[in-house]
Amino acid sequence: MALSEVAAFNTGPIKLGSTNVAIIWGTGAPDGDSSPESDALKGSLYIQTNATDDESPLYLKVDEDSSDDDWVQVWVDKQEDAQSFEAAITMDADNKLYFRDSAIYIYSSGDADLNLVADGHIYIGDGTNQVDIAADGEITLEGTAKVTKAVPLDLITGGGTSSIEAHAGMPSINLDADGETWYFSFEVPKDWDAVSDLTYTAMVVNEIAEDDNDDISFTGQVRGYADGETTSDAGQAVAVALNLTGGDQAQNVVNKVTGTIDYDHGTYPIAAGDLVVCKFTVNLGDGTETTGPLWIVGHWVEYTADKLGTAT
């Protein structure tokens, strides 16, 4: 037969080859216990002539016990630039699916368990807003996946001129004179993202008979110390304002006030793990609100966290 001629086989199945290893084609999947499929030895190929566009037409014989599972369907690459699997794929027992090398893989370590393993990082997300799981177990949140957390602060004066007293059944820092001070400190958490400012937040109750809309403020001196640093009575200034206008003029009402701690301050920056020492002073407006008191009934430091766990 010349190369330009075509041989057409319209009946099936038809076997081409010896009784040892054969090429067989026919309609439907191969039948393991029917001739000629059952006669073909291991290594034979079967071509399904009526396979649909979304399934592989090729089967390979891998056993010879005359059953349907003697024949396994072979994956066929449908396009040059990608491999598309359009049927379920089962990894038996704890067999692994590898990527790039033997240190990056997916497998099941046991029934109902799925394991993702990488010697560097595993990322879950869209490439920008994602969870980064490092090989050492550290979990980092990236993009908008970050969360806001708080460092609670004790209600103490720390040697300042203010006092600790009860107000309406609540412990509080009592500020009843202009210029009174209170001190506190905290450690910068290791899950802080290290690229955003921290916020000092206080809940303040006003008992001043304010009627001229003067502002009351707190001025903070804040400084972070790393291990081995020399101490000094200096730091970045943090301003916190309590604007006594509108509803804030009412007595015995809790008002939330905040001040920004600049993490990348030019002279007194803040770093993860620092001990941050804070000294705050109350400023009672233009001097007419000197009878007080103000009550700080709670305070804390808010920060943006980008980790759910740290390796150390």
Residues 70 and 38 in one domain: yes
Residues 175 and 41 in one domain: no
CATH number of domain containing 281: 2.60.120.260
pLDDT at 274: 97
As for how many domains the chain has, the answer is 3
Range of the domain at 190: 147-309
Residues 303 and 249 in one domain: yes
Residues 126 and 47 in one domain: no
Residues 168 and 268 in one domain: yes
Residues 155 and 175 in one domain: yes
Residues 116 and 162 in one domain: no
Residues 275 and 218 in one domain: yes
Asked if residues 103 and 96 have their Cβ atoms less than 8 Å apart, the reply is: no
Kindly list the averaged pLDDT for each block of 10 residues, start to end, along the chain of length 312.
Answer: 44 59 88 85 90 87 82 76 73 90 94 94 91 88 86 92 92 90 95 94 82 75 96 96 69 89 97 96 68 86 84 52
Residues 300 and 174 in one domain: yes
DSSP label at residue 193: -
Residues 159 and 259 in one domain: yes
pLDDT at 184: 96
Q: How far is CA 286 from CA 44, 132, 228, 264, 298, in A?
A: 98, 52, 42, 32, 26
pLDDT at 6: 45
Residue finishing a domain among 126, 144, 162? 144
Interatomic CA distance for residues 230 and 54, integer angstroms: 72
Residues 114 and 76 in one domain: no
Interatomic CA distance for residues 293 and 288, integer angstroms: 13
Q: How far is CA 270 from CA 10, 130, 237, 238, 308, in A?
A: 81, 26, 13, 13, 21
Among 151, 235, 134, 216, residue whose Cα is nearest residue 178: 216
Residues 119 and 156 in one domain: no
Provide the whole-model pTM: 0.64
Asked if residues 178 and 208 have their Cβ atoms less than 8 Å apart, the reply is: no
DSSP label at residue 230: P
